[in-house]
Amino acid sequence: MRMTINHLNIVVADMQRSLDFYIGLLAMRQTFEVTLQDRWLEEVTGCDDARAHCVFVVPDGGGCRLEILQYLSPQGTALAPNALPHTQGLRHFALEVTDLDGWHQKLSAAGVRFVSPPITVPFRIVEGIQKRLCYCHDPDGVVVEFCEHLRG
């Protein structure tokens, strides 16, 4: 038996606003789009009358897909504490990039607010990699880590 991460799901309030972020700003590619509905969705989610707009995007360099989901019914609510990095539960996902400073500058110029500028982790991580990173939030408050791995 084996296991891999297939995708991460992000529930959003406004699909177009989120696609503007993930496709427009982050240059991801859309790979799939569908309206999810019917009894199977109600059963798997435990939500009566569940209906959702679903779009899959993938980083241009490949890797784990993001399932962007906007529930059309029932509509959920945002919980402000979920955007804090120390709140329990799944808190962020990381995008490995080249030229972290370039990404930071590009996104900052587009109005994305970062928690800090890129910082260097003061120790080497797995396989002796030196890591630099910074956090921002997507339009729905999901913490997104941008990281650069420097080898050698």
Question: Residues 138-143: what's their mean pLDDT?
Answer: 94
Whether residue 111 has pLDDT greater than 90: yes
Would you call 151 helix, strand, or coil by DSSP? coil
Q: How confident is the model at residue 27 (pLDDT cuts 50, 70, 90)?
A: very high
Structure confidence by residue, pLDDT tens digits, 60-105: 999 999 999 999 999 888 888 888 888 888 889 999 999 999 999 9
The residues near 99 (Cβ < 8 Å, ≥ 6 apart) are 148
As given in the structure block, the two tokens for residue 57 are: 């995007």
Question: Residues 39-44: what's their mean pLDDT?
Answer: 94
**Angle ∠(101,90,132) on CA atoms, nearest 5:** 20
Quick one: pLDDT at residue 59? Answer: 96
Q: How confident is the model at residue 11 (pLDDT cuts 50, 70, 90)?
A: very high
- Cβ atoms of residues 108 and 127 within 8 Å: no
**Angle ∠(41,88,81) on CA atoms, nearest 5:** 85
